[in-house]
Structure 1
C-alpha cells in the first residue's frame, strides 16, 4: 500500500463513517428519549435509497401503499381507544393526514418521476418514507410506552424482521444504485475528491447544526431534551411521552432516509442491507455509551475507516473486524458502569 491508496481508502472510510455517524445519532436519540433500540433504522435508509432509485427509473413505488396501510391501522387503533377508553381523537390531525397521504399518492402516480429535478425526487422520497416512523411508533410501540427495555427490544427486532419481508415484496430481490448528485471531482495534490463525498460530509455537518438549533432553541427540541434527561420529570412538567416518542421517530426516520439517499449513489443497496448499516451505526453508538453523540460520531468515523482499510487487507473478514470493535467497549462499559436494577428506573 502506498500513500495514494491510503488516501483513497481514508476518503472512502470518512464518507462511510459520516453516514454511520448519522445513524448512530438516530440510535442515541431514540434510545435516550424512548428506551427503544431502533433496530429497523437501517430499513428506513434502504427504503429511502430504493424508493429514490424507483423514482429515477420512472416507476411509482409501492411503498406509498404501506403508508396508506399504516394510516388505516393507526386510525382504527385511535378510534378503538376513543370509544373503549374515552381517549381524545384529534380530528384535525386525521384530516391533515388524509390530505398529506393523498398528495403523496397522487404525486407518485401522476408526476413524470424520471424527468423531475433531482432535488424534487429527493424531497418526494423523504415525504413518502418519513411518515413511516411515527406510524410504526403508533402501531407497535405506543401501546408499550411503559414496558421494560427488554420488551421494547424484542418488539424492535420483530418490526425489523417484518420490514425486511415487506421490503422484499415492495422492492424485489434486486439491488439498486441511484444517480449521483454531481459528477464533478476535485484534485487536491494526488487525491481526487468526488463531489458525492463532499456532499455527504457537508450534509453531516448541516444536520448537526440543524439538530443543535432544534434542541437548543426550539420548544419541541427542549421538550425532547428534557425527556431524554429525565422521563418522569418531563412527564410531570406536562410533556407527553407519546408525543416525544412520535417526534423522535419522525427525526430518526428523516435522518435515516436521508442517510440512505446520500449513500445510494456510491454503493448498491438491497432490501435486506439495512441491518448491516444500522449495526455499524450501533457500533458507533455503543462507543459513545448510547449517550454522547460527539464520541459516537468519532467512533462511527473510526468504524468507517477500519472498514475501508479492512476491505483492502482482508475483504472477506471486514464485517468480522468491524463488529469485533464492539467487544472491548462493551467490556469496558460493563466494568465501569454501576448496574441498576431495571425496576428501579
Structure 2
C-alpha cells in the first residue's frame, strides 16, 4: 500500500464515518428515550434513497401508500384506545389529528410526483414522506408495548425490520438505484480528488450534528427528550409525556435516516435491503458509545469507517466480518467496567 492508496482509503473512511455518525446518534436517541434497540434504522436510509430515485423517474413512490396505510391503522388504534377508556366523544378529534398530517403529506407527494420537479423540491418531498413514516411506525408497532421489557421491544424491532424490508421489495423492486449528485464538482487536493458530493456529506453531517447539539441544549423539546432519557418516571411526574417524546424521537431518527440515504444515494447503489448493513454499522458505532455517549459514538463511527475502508483493501471479501468483530472487544470492555442497575419498573 503506497501513500496515494492510503489517502484514498482515508477519504473513503471519512465519508462513510460521517454517515455512520448520524446513524449512531439516531440509534442512541431512540434507545435513550424509548429503550428500543431500533434495528430498522437503516430502513429509513433505504427508503430515503429509493423514494428520491422513484421521484426522479416521475413516478409516485410506494412510500406514499405506506404512509397512508400506517396512518389509517394508527387512527383505528387511537379510536379503539379512547373507546376502551370511555371517552368516545374525543374520537373524532383524535382520528383527525392522527390522519391529517400524513394524508396531507401523502397527497402533496402524489400530486407532485409526476411533475418532474427540480432536485431540491424532490428532496423536500422525500424528507417529508420518510420523516412522517417514523412517528407512524412508533405509534403502530411500539407505543402499545412501550412499558414492556427491552427484550420485547427488541423482538418488535426485528419484526418491524422484516416488515419494512419486505415492503421495500414490494414498492421498489429488487433492482438497485442511484440518485443524482448534488454537485458534479471535482476538487483537486494534492494526490486526491474530492468530489462535490463528498463535500456535501461532510458539510451536512457537521451541520446536522450542530443543529442536534443546539436542539438538545437550548430548546424546550430537546430538554424534554433528555429528561425522558434520564428518568422516564421522573419526566412523567413533571408533566412530560414519554409517548410524545417517543414520537418526536422517531421523527428525528427518520429525518436523520432519510438525509443519510439522500446523501449516499449518489455515492453507492442502494437496494431494497441495503439499509440493514448500513444501519447495523451505525449500531456498531453506537455500541462503542455504550448506547449512551454521543461523543464516544461519533468516535466509534469514525473507527468503524476506518476499519471498513482499510479492511476492504486487505480483506475485501470479509470487510463486514472485520467491522462487526470489532464489537466483541468493545462489548467485553463495557461489560467489565459497567455497574449493574435493576431495570426501572
TM-score, length of structure 2 as denominator length: 0.95
The whole-number CA distance in structure 2 between the counterparts of 1:153 and 1:81 is: 24
Larger deviation, residues 91-100 vs 245-254 = 91-100
Listed as ranges, the gaps of 5+ residues in structure 2 are: none
Larger deviation, residues 111-120 vs 294-303 = 111-120
| Residue matched to 2:61 | 61
The whole-number CA distance in structure 1 between the counterparts of 2:213 and 2:93 is: 30
The whole-number CA distance in structure 2 between the counterparts of 1:98 and 1:144 is: 21
| Residue matched to 2:21 | 21
Is the 1:186–1:194 Cα contact (8 Å) retained in structure 2?
Answer: yes
Question: What is the CA distance between 1:105 and its match in structure 2?
Answer: 3.3
The whole-number CA distance in structure 2 between the counterparts of 1:249 and 1:173 is: 27
Listed as ranges, the gaps of 5+ residues in structure 1 are: none
The whole-number CA distance in structure 2 between the counterparts of 1:112 and 1:285 is: 36
The whole-number CA distance in structure 2 between the counterparts of 1:197 and 1:258 is: 14
Aligned residues between the structures? 344
Q: Note the 1:110-189 alignment, pairs <5 A.
A: 110-111=111-112, 113=114, 115-189=116-190
Question: What is the CA distance between 1:339 and its match in structure 2?
Answer: 2.1
The whole-number CA distance in structure 2 between the counterparts of 1:212 and 1:185 is: 31
The whole-number CA distance in structure 2 between the counterparts of 1:174 and 1:301 is: 30
Larger deviation, residues 122-131 vs 86-95 = 86-95
SS of aligned partner of 1:311 = helix
The whole-number CA distance in structure 2 between the counterparts of 1:90 and 1:229 is: 33
| Residue matched to 1:40 | 40
Is the 1:57–1:114 Cα contact (8 Å) retained in structure 2?
Answer: no
Question: What is the CA distance between 1:11 and its match in structure 2?
Answer: 0.7
Alpha carbons of structure 1 residues 235 and 112: separation in structure 2 relative to 1, 3 Å: closer
Question: What is the CA distance between 1:102 and its match in structure 2?
Answer: 3.8
C-alpha RMSD of the superposition: 1.6
| Residue matched to 1:320 | 321
| Residue matched to 2:196 | 195
The whole-number CA distance in structure 1 between the counterparts of 2:175 and 2:100 is: 33
Q: Note the 1:66-145 alignment, pairs <5 A.
A: 66-86=66-86, 89=90, 94-95=95-96, 98-111=99-112, 113=114, 115-145=116-146
Is the 1:56–1:113 Cα contact (8 Å) retained in structure 2?
Answer: no
| Residue matched to 2:211 | 210
Is the 1:289–1:333 Cα contact (8 Å) retained in structure 2?
Answer: yes
Alpha carbons of structure 1 residues 284 and 87: separation in structure 2 relative to 1, 3 Å: farther
Question: What is the CA distance between 1:323 and its match in structure 2?
Answer: 0.5
Is the 1:47–1:257 Cα contact (8 Å) retained in structure 2?
Answer: yes
| Residue matched to 2:251 | 250
SS of aligned partner of 2:106 = helix
Question: What is the CA distance between 1:309 and its match in structure 2?
Answer: 1.2
Is the 2:59–2:113 Cα contact (8 Å) retained in structure 1?
Answer: no
The whole-number CA distance in structure 2 between the counterparts of 1:187 and 1:96 is: 52
Question: What is the CA distance between 1:119 and its match in structure 2?
Answer: 1.3
- Provide runs of 4+ in structure 1 moved above 4 Å: 87-94, 96-99
Question: What is the CA distance between 1:104 and its match in structure 2?
Answer: 3.2
TM-score, length of structure 1 as denominator length: 0.95
SS of aligned partner of 1:111 = helix
| Residue matched to 1:241 | 242
| Residue matched to 1:263 | 264
SS of aligned partner of 2:266 = helix
